[in-house]
Amino acid sequence: MTGISRRGFVLGTSAAVFAAASATPATARTRALVPAGGAHFGAYAYEGSSIGVSQPEALESKIGHRLGINHCFQPVDVALPAARIEKDVADGRIPMLSWAAGPEARLGEIVAGTHDGWIDTQARGLAAIGAPVLLRLTWEFDLRYVDTDLFVRMWRHVHGRFAQLAPQVAFVWCPTWRAYRETDKAEPFYPGDAYVDWVGADGYARPKPDQPEYNYRAFDLMFDAAHAFAAARGKPFIVGETGVHRAATDPVQAAWLGETREVIKASYPSLKALVYFHRDGPNEDDDWRVTVPDGGAAQQAFAGIATDPYFNP
Distance CA 194, CA 203 (A): 25
Identify the CA nearest to 87 among candidates 107, 72, 105. Answer: 72
Q: What is the pLDDT of residue 17?
A: 34
Per-residue pLDDT of the chain (313 residues; tens, 9 = 90+): 233 444 444 444 233 333 333 444 556 667 889 999 999 999 999 998 888 999 999 999 999 999 999 999 999 989 999 999 999 999 999 999 999 999 999 999 999 999 999 999 999 999 999 999 999 999 999 999 999 999 999 999 999 999 999 999 999 999 999 999 999 999 999 999 999 999 999 999 999 999 999 999 999 999 999 999 999 999 999 999 999 999 987 899 999 999 999 999 999 999 999 999 999 999 999 999 999 999 999 999 999 999 999 999 9
Cβ atoms of residues 277 and 288 within 8 Å? yes
> Is-catalytic flag, 241?
yes
Q: Which residues touch 114 (CB under 8 Å, ≥6 apart)? A: none
Q: How many CB atoms lie within 10 A of CB 37?
A: 9
Identify the CA nearest to 113 among candidates 76, 157, 74. Answer: 157
Identify the CA nearest to 169 among candidates 237, 94, 231, 59. Answer: 94
Catalytic residue among 86, 182, 241, 259: 241
Catalytic residue among 60, 104, 140, 213: 140
Distance CA 235, CA 246 (A): 32
Q: How far is CA 12 from CA 7, 19, 61, 75, 214, in A?
A: 10, 27, 32, 6, 31
Helical pair 148-165 and 116-127, crossing angle rounded to 10 deg:
50
Domains, the chain: 6-311 (3.20.20.80)
β partners of residue 69? 42, 94
> Is-catalytic flag, 213?
no
| HEC profile of 43-80 | EEECCCCCCCCCCCHHHHHHHCCCCCEEEEEECCCCCC
Distance CA 85, CA 298 (A): 28
Q: What is the pLDDT of residue 85?
A: 98
Cβ density class 6-34: b for 16+ within 10 Å, e for less? beebbebebeeebeebbeeebeeebeebb
Distance CA 105, CA 112 (A): 11
Q: What is the pLDDT of residue 196?
A: 97
